[in-house]
Each structure stands twice: as structure tokens, then as C-alpha cells.
């Protein structure tokens, strides 16, 4: 169709959908046309017929949305796209690291990446453009241009739907999860080829076509504890002759805030010694049944279960206090966190509603959180809402510790390493014993020493008679 044909349509007023589609390419080819009349017609047509509707391909600023939890800035950890790449809705744009968790940002549009506003490791501000996208068919897209955070299934949905629970363990975009749901496929059975085992669109389509192999369970907990003893990440030498100043970001920034707040709270510490021999034997008996369920059973789930049972008798230790220390809130849920040493720093994910979970359920969730911490894919919900915390520093070394509160929580525990030491047995003879030291710290403004001592005694009784942890 020529520009003359377009002029004819304009004069005759034949503005049908078909004619509009026919003359749009003509306008692009002839935009530098010397015919002032044609350009005038084009301008009048756009003003008259389209008003503020985006014309063909708009370059749209893609705003970083509010991630929640009061987060105002994030660090760009990795770009999954570059300038000139085509993206579709729900495709991954980048991964950002807040001071609480890693978040994957996904696209709202189909289009082409026009500009990246940040380099890797730069700070991106909430409410400002993250990328610019040249949107295809601009008139048909949503007027919202806020960057999407990859949505996650909430805790209630996971509990009610075991298929969703399995899907939650796999790393994947919402689009991939939707395809898996339509074909009733558990993402945990699909081998992911993306970063950190992320299941890509090609992986799920290949699986549907029967060309993918099932993913074998990995020993995530044991390998994580081993890495804690001997970290795989290289430690850069400081003997370079040049000082270097870097910003405090990510999980370390969170630690600055929480430890500064904890320093304002008067702590006291109580320590004791436990015989973990019976626990070692019980775990050995349960390892095989756990492996049949693809669960790696460590000692941590036993400790978390014991804490929850003891908290039921001492609810003051599962509470929080307001800033003025005038009110105490007793928490109904036992959301028990455990410290995790990651390549990005210390983070404390928590297991929700431990009071309602069986031992193997706790173990499965522990495995998921450790794997997510290892791959940098912890979600904000994984690291918020905790009511009691536990440090397993003994997996690296040490006996007695002085744990520091994770405010507004009012109590925290720390476990030392297992040791074989001589102790007096029940008959008075000296014998070899498997011993572990445990230390508790509490907010002395509202918790007294006697309460922590009784709580510790109940925890000790449960660990030294661990069959209770299985049947309750």
C-alpha cells in the first residue's frame, strides 16, 4: 500500500481495523516523506484516533516495585538479559539481593530490552527504572510499568496441596510453574539446566516430550555442613598493598541492623551439657526410612522439634516485645529459625509452624531452606516472621557460645560440637560419652533465669530420650 492509498483512506474516512493495520507500516516507511500533507494527515490521525494510546513500539521504563518488608534498595546480583534480547511476559529479567533475601524480577511485557540501568553489584532503588523495554504492540499492554517480583505460593496453599509443596522446592519462573501445573508435573522431578538447578522453559517442554531425565535427590544438608567446615569460596588475600573500601550490602547489612538493635537489650546466658548418645543411635535407625522419602536426615530437625515441644510449656520464650518494652506478644506459631552460613553472609531462615509438623516434615523443610540458601534463592517469606532462633555453630567448631538475640525475639540457642569425653555412668564407672554443650541467651527485661533453666532441662530430657521427638 502506498502513501497515496493512505491519503485516500484518510479523506474517505474508511478507518476500519484492516485499513489501520495496512497503513501503519506505510507511516514508518514514509516518516521522512517530504509531503507535508501526508505528515499532517498522520499527525491529525494519531491525535484524533489514538489519543494517549502507545503507538506501535514504546520504550517503557520498567520500575522496580516495592518488594515489601520496608526494603528501599537492592543489589543487582545477576542479569539474565542484555540489551537487544527479546523477552516475554514472566521471563526472568534479573536477580536482586535485598538485606533479607534474593528475589527474581520477572517481565510484565513482551518486547526487546533497550537499556539496563545498573551494572552487576550496583544498588538499585525501589521506585526507579530497572530496565527499559521496547514493548511490542504497545497499545495492547497494561498501563502499569512496575517490575514484577516472581510470585511465590503462600504457606497455606503449600500445606493444603502436596503437589504445590513439591513444586515449591524447585527453582522456576511462574510461567514454567504454570506449564507444569497444566500438565500435572511435579517440578522436583524435572532436571533444571539453569543457574542453581533452575528449571527453564526448555527443560519442562523437553520433559513433556519425554527427552529429559529425572532429577536425582542431592545430599544438600550434609554437603552444606561440610562446606561450613571447609568453605569452597576462595578467600582473597589482603596482602596487596592497597586498601579497599566496599559498601556493606545484602545479608551483612541485615546483620548490622539486628546486632545493633540487640546491643540495646540486656542479655543473660545459660549453658548446659547434654548426652547425645541416644540421639546418635536413633538418627542412625531413621536414616534409611528418611532416604526412602528422599529426605536427608541431620540432627537439626531433632533439635528444632525439641525446642518446639519445650516452647509449648514456656510460651514467654516464644514471644516478642515492643520497642518501649511495655507489651509482650505471645506467638501462637512456632516459626523456628536456624543460622545458615552462605557465600552471601549469615542468614537465618525459619521453618513455619513447627508445632504442627512431624519430624520428617521438619527435615524436608530444613533441606529446602539450606539448598535455597546455598543457591541464593531464599524468598522474603523464608527469612521473616521468626519467633525463636538457633545457631548450629558447632558444625564448624566450638563448645560453649554466647549467642546474640535476633530482636524482637526474646530468646536464642546455640549448639556446640559433638565430643567424645569421659563421664561417670549410671553405675558410677567412668565411660565414654557423646557430649554436646548448649547455650541459651534471653532478654533479661522480661525473661528470668529460672524460666530458661527449666526450659533447658526439658530440652535436655527430650534430646536424651529422643523417641519422644518421633511419636509427638
Question: What would the pLDDT profile of 138-188 be if each residue is shown by its tens digit?
Answer: 544 443 455 555 444 444 444 444 434 444 456 776 667 767 777 778 777
Instruction: Identify which has the larger pLDDT, 139 or 362.
Output: 362
Q: 334 catalytic, yes or no?
A: no
Q: Is the pLDDT of residue 214 over 60?
A: no
pLDDT for position 173: 66
Q: What is the DSSP letter of 172?
A: B
Contact 174, 145 (CB under 8 A): no
β-sheet bridge partners, residue 14 = none
Could you give the C-alpha distances from 389 to 104, 316, 353, 365, 452, in angstroms and in order? 26, 14, 13, 15, 14
Residue range 244-251: mean pLDDT, rounded: 82
- Beta-carbon contacts of 89 under 8 Å, excluding residues fewer than 6 positions away, are 107, 108, 109, 110, 175
Burial 6-29 (b: 16+ CB within 10 A, else e): beebbeeeeeeeebeeebeebbee
Sign of torsion, CA 139 143 146 150? negative
3-state secondary structure of 171: coil
User: What pLDDT, on a 0 to 100 scale, did the predictor assign at position 161?
Assistant: 45
Kindly provide the residue ranges of all beta strands, DSSP E only, lying in 360-429, ordered along the sequence: 388-391, 411-415, 419-424
Q: What angle do CA 190, 187, 347 make, to 5 degrees?
A: 110
Strand partners, 75: 97, 123
How does pLDDT run across 393-435, given as a tens digit for each residue?
Answer: 888 888 888 999 999 999 999 999 999 999 998 888 999 999 9
User: For residues 180 and 167, what is the distance between their CA atoms, to the nearest angstrom?
Assistant: 9
pLDDT in tens, 195-208: 667 787 778 777 87
User: What percent of the chain is modeled with pLDDT above 90?
Assistant: 39
- Lookup: cell for 34: 517530504
- For residue 307, pLDDT over 80 is answered with yes
CA distance to 325, 403, 405, 413, 438, per residue, from 446 (Å): 9, 18, 13, 17, 21
For residues 106 and 50, give the distance between their C-alpha atoms in angstroms, rounded to a whole number.
Answer: 29
pLDDT band at 338 (very low <50, low <70, confident <90, very high): very high
**Phi-psi region for residue 82, left (φ > 0), alpha (ψ -120 to 50) or beta?**
beta
Q: How far is CA 83 from CA 64, 134, 404, 450, in A?
A: 18, 10, 46, 63
Cell numbers describing residue 341: 552460613
| Nearest Cα residue to 359 out of 287, 408, 428 | 287
Q: Could you give the CA distance from residue 307 to residue 461 in angstroms, rounded to a whole number?
A: 11
Q: What pLDDT, on a 0 to 100 scale, did the predictor assign at position 412?
A: 97
> C-alpha distances in angstroms, 335 versus 315, 389, 441, 458?
13, 9, 18, 19
Reference 282, options 307, 303, 310; nearest CA is: 303
Q: What is the pLDDT of residue 388?
A: 97
The reply to whether the predicted model has a pTM over 0.75 is: no
Surface-to-core class of residue 365, CB atoms within 10 Å of its CB (0-12 exposed, 13-18 middle, 19+ buried):
buried
Report the DSSP pairing between strands 388-391 and 336-338. Answer: parallel
Beta bridge partners of 271: 439
Taking 60 as the threshold, does the pLDDT of residue 11 lie above it?
no
Compute the distance between CA of residue 260 and CA of residue 253 in angstroms, rounded to an integer.
11
Burial of 430 (0-12, 13-18, 19+ CB in 10 A): exposed
Is 148 considered catalytic here? no
pLDDT digits 0-9 by tens, 80-114: 999 999 998 888 898 888 776 778 888 888 889 99
- Alpha-carbon distance of 266 to 405, in angstroms, equals 10
User: For position 143, what pLDDT does the model report?
Assistant: 39
- Residue 234 or 206, more confident: 206
What average pLDDT score do residues 5-21 get? 50
Does 443 have pLDDT greater than 60?
yes
**pLDDT for res 146:** 53
pLDDT of residue 321: 92
Residues 399, 386 contacting (CB under 8 angstroms):
no
Maximum mean pLDDT: which of 68-82, 218-232, 241-255, 359-373: 359-373
Amino acid at each position: 500500500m502506498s502513501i497515496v492509498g493512505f491519503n485516500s483512506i484518510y479523506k474517505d474516512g474508511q478507518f476500519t481495523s484492516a485499513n489501520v493495520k495496512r497503513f501503519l507500516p506505510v507511516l514508518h516507511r514514509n516518516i521522512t516523506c517530504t509531503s507535508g500533507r501526508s505528515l499532517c494527515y498522520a499527525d491529525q490521525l494519531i491525535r484524533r484516533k489514538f489519543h494517549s494510546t502507545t503507538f506501535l513500539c514504546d520504550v517503557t521504563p520498567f520500575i522496580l516495585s516495592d518488594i515489601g518488608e520496608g526494603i528501599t534498595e537492592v543489589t543487582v546480583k545477576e542479569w539474565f538479559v542484555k540489551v537487544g534480547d527479546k523477552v516475554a511476559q514472566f521471563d526472568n529479567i534479573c536477580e536482586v539481593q535485598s538485606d533479607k533475601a534474593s528475589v527474581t524480577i520477572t517481565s510484565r511485557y513482551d518486547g526487546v530490552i533497550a537499556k539496563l540501568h545498573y551494572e552487576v553489584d550496583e544498588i538499585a532503588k525501589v521506585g526507579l527504572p530497572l530496565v527499559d523495554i521496547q514493548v511490542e504492540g504497545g497499545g495492547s499492554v497494561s498501563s502499569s510499568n512496575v517490575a514484577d517480583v516472581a510470585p511465590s505460593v503462600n504457606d497455606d496453599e503449600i500445606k493444603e496441596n502436596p503437589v504445590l509443596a513439591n513444586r515449591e522446592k524447585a527453582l522456576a519462573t511462574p510461567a514454567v510453574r504454570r506449564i507444569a501445573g497444566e500438565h500435572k508435573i511435579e517440578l522436583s522431578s524435572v532436571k533444571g539446566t539453569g543457574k542453581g538447578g533452575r528449571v527453564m522453559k526448555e527443560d519442562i517442554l523437553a520433559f513433556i516430550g519425554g527427552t529429559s531425565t529425572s532429577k536425582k535427590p542431592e545430599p544438600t544438608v550434609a554437603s552444606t555442613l561440610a562446606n561450613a567446615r571447609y568453605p569452597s569460596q576462595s578467600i582473597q588475600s589482603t596482602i596487596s598493598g592497597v586498601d579497599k573500601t566496599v559498601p556493606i550490602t545484602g545479608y551483612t547489612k541485615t546483620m548490622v541492623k539486628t546486632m545493633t538493635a540487640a546491643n540495646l537489650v540486656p542479655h543473660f546466658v545459660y549453658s548446659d551439657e547434654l548426652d547425645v548418645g541416644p540421639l546418635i543411635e536413633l538418627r542412625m535407625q531413621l536414616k534409611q526410612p528418611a532416604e526412602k522419602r528422599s529426605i536427608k536426615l541431620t540432627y537439626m530437625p531433632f533439635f528444632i522439634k525439641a525446642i518446639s515441644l519445650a516452647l509449648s510449656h514456656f510460651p514467654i520464650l516464644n514471644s516478642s516485645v515492643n520497642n518501649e518494652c511495655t507489651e509482650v506478644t505471645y506467638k501462637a506459631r512456632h516459626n523456628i529459625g536456624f543460622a545458615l552460613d552462605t557465600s552471601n553472609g549469615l542468614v537465618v531462615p525459619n521453618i513455619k509452624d513447627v508445632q504442627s509438623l512431624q519430624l520428617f516434615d521438619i527435615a524436608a523443610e530444613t533441606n529446602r531452606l539450606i539448598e535455597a540458601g546455598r543457591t541464593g534463592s531464599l524468598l522474603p517469606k523464608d527469612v521473616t516472621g521468626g519467633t525463636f532462633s538457633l545457631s548450629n555453630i558447632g558444625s564448624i567448631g566450638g563448645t560453649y557460645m554466647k549467642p546474640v538475640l535476633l530482636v524482637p525475639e526474646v530468646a536464642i540457642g546455640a549448639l556446640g560440637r559433638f565430643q567424645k569425653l569421659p563421664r561417670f555412668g549410671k553405675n558410677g564407672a567412668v565411660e565414654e560419652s557423646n557430649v554436646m554443650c548448649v547455650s541459651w541467651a534471653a532478654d533479661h527485661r522480661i525473661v528470668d533465669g529460672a524460666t530458661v533453666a527449666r526450659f533447658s532441662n526439658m530440652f535436655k530430657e527430650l534430646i536424651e530420650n529422643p523417641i519422644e521427638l518421633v511419636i509427638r
